[in-house]
Structure 1
Amino acid sequence: MKNVIDGISYWIYYVPKEIKRMSEIDVSKKPSPTKWSKKEILGHLCDSAIMNIERFIKIQYEKQPYVLPTYNQNEWVAKQNYQDTPIEEILTLFYVLNKQIIAIINNIPDEKRAYLCDIGNNELKTLEWLIQDYYDHMEHHLKKQIFK
């Protein structure tokens, strides 16, 4: 898990520094009416952190396998209205949520990393897999969509 913690730590300092170099037009521009702007992508990563904070905690004490609740990512981004939210507020949320993710990961006992969750269609994965998947998802959006 050290690689995940180090990776998240890197991104929570890199992202604000680099986003602040971009203009409001750059972070707000939507590639098309149905695609998210950079602000909305960053907001989506905040939503992902919110969902995963709950998952990372509940998997440790709920009946196994813990069935992951799903969420409609487009509705979350729309209802949170990230497009009209100042980028500074989204950056603060991104930082704080991911600092909390790091704290949660640091406090997971080794034996609980093997606890199981159902990610859908009765596909079982470990908590450790889910944590790595969270990080991979974050990095995908940052590298392929925000800082491409």
Structure 2
Amino acid sequence: MNYSQRLQNLVLHFQTELNRIPQDEFSAKAHPAKWSKKEIVGHLCDSAANNYIRFVKIALSDYPIPLEGYDQDRWVELNDYHNSYDPYDVIQLWINRNVQIATVLAQIPEEDYTKEGILPSGESATLDWLAADYIEHMIHHFRQILGNERIETMINQSKKSKVEHR
């Protein structure tokens, strides 16, 4: 399965799961310094915004380009996902940003997945690695939101698919 299709499948699955979470549970904070489930989804929106730019810049460049990092906590704080978004809106934002990324990933030619970017650490990473890492990062946070068992069941179901992996 290619990255675009995998991301689309995850969005379809996770949007259903997110919409099943009661609003009070979705917005609840276990501790004032910890993110709520809503803020975790907001963080995934920020991750999508940053990675979309990375994917496009690398795909359009003929040489390795520097990739900026971002202060995740400050992005969540500035976007005020906890107070300024209702659950439906933050879920829709996450869906829309990931559909856009899936569209871009589908349009990138196979050979461009070997193109590289330079991470803030100075290490280089291929577009292929960044796309896989983006999806794994999303799954990591959905484990926090939904629990390991539900995520593992979904991942095992998707592995049974006969579609080729990129």
For normalisation by structure 2, the TM-score amounts to 0.83
Matched with 2:100 is 100
Matched with 1:113 is 113
Matched with 1:57 is 56
Matched with 2:16 is 17
Deviation per residue, 1:11-58 (Å, 9 max, x gap) = 212222222222221001112111100000001001111001111001
For normalisation by structure 1, the TM-score amounts to 0.92
Structure 1 stretches of 4+ moved >6 Å: none
2:71 equivalent to 1:72:
yes
Percent of residue pairs bearing the same amino acid type: 36
Q: Provide the secondary structure at the position in 2 that maps to 1:64.
A: coil
Matched with 2:140 is 140
Q: Quick check: 126-135 or 8-17, which moved more?
A: 8-17
Counterpart AA for 1:147: L
Please state how far the C-alpha of 1:128 moved relative to its aligned partner.
0.6
- Separation of aligned partners in 1, 2:12 and 2:60: 32
Q: Quick check: 96-105 or 7-16, which moved more?
A: 7-16
Please state how far the C-alpha of 1:63 moved relative to its aligned partner.
5.6
Aligned residues: 146
Unaligned runs of 5+ in 2: 148-166
Task: Give RMSD over aligned pairs.
Answer: 1.4
2:9 equivalent to 1:47:
no
